Amino acid sequence: MLADEEIERILVVTAHPDDVDFGVAGSVATWTDRGIDVSYCVVTDGDAGGFDPDVPRSEIPAIRRAEQTAAAKIVGVTDLHFLGHPDGRLVASIELRRDIARVIRIVRPQRVVCQSPDRNYQRIYASHPDHLAAGEAALCAVYPDARNPFTFTELMDEGLDPWAVAEVWMMATTKPDAFVDITDAFDRKIAALQAHESQITDIDAGRDMVRDWTSAVAQVGAFADGRLAEGFMVVSTA
Ligand SMILES: [Zn+2]
């Protein structure tokens, strides 16, 4: 596992707007505080989300992109790549692998953070089928797609050279082996979640839920009482 000092750029790949903020926004805030450039790749526009029937469905993608952009800014992220794949119907297609590989070649990250392609039976909501598909496609994009010059030759035609990502951190895993203390970034994580106004009706309940679960992760990571953490499973892909 690389030390943060060895990392210049991190790319977070998630299925939906707001996934990044539930899963990793606290860690992102600590990374950008240290001068690491963090970029987001959001696979769908969350166009099957929202709860207000008075909002025309055609307006949802623009609303959710704007919310994710605002949430990103709160934790120091301004480079966002929206892929526009269909929400609720995501599969780890060759086209999705190519589109994520393209963003990897543009951003050239040492670390990719993505969703786990393995279903978490202890926390089934974290394993939405779109999350599993996005995680599977992201792992395929890291190895072998982004580093192989001979699969997606159209990316070479676009002037994008192969790039080998050194490590992948997976969210929503049942076996976390890397932990980030986010206690000092907790308020920014909540503010980022709050930026998703079309999704979150009760931020007080959300804050309690996120505090409970980051507190439980901190205990798994053997942090001191009262600390909060996000947990990941690290895969070496160097
Ligand atoms: Zn999601």
DSSP state string for 34-45 = TT-EEEEEEEE-
Nearest 5 degrees, angle CA 203-CA 118-CA 146? 100
Q: What is the DSSP letter of 224?
A: P
The reported pLDDT for the residue numbered 116 is 97
| Strand duo 178-181 + 229-236: pairing | antiparallel
CATH class of 4-236: alpha beta
Q: How far is the CA of 47 from the centre of ligand 1 (A)?
A: 11
Alpha-carbon dihedral 238, 110, 163, 95, rounded to 10 degrees: 100
Ion ligand 1 nearby residues (CB, 5 A): 16, 19
Q: How far is the CA of 118 from the centre of ligand 1 (A)?
A: 15
Band of the pLDDT at 174, cuts 50, 70, 90?
confident
Strand, coil or helix: 13 = strand
Least confident stretch, 39-53, 67-81, 120-134: 39-53
Whole-structure pTM value: 0.97
Q: How far is the CA of 194 from the centre of ligand 1 (A)?
A: 15
pLDDT digits (tens, 9 = 90+) for 55-101: 888 899 999 999 999 999 999 999 999 999 999 999 999 999 999 99
Band of the pLDDT at 102, cuts 50, 70, 90?
very high
Q: Is the pLDDT of residue 50 over 80?
A: no
According to DSSP, the residues that pair with 41 across neighbouring strands are 13, 81
Q: Is the pLDDT of residue 49 over 80?
A: no
Q: How far is the CA of 131 from the centre of ligand 1 (A)?
A: 6
Q: How far is the CA of 128 from the centre of ligand 1 (A)?
A: 7
The reported pLDDT for the residue numbered 168 is 98
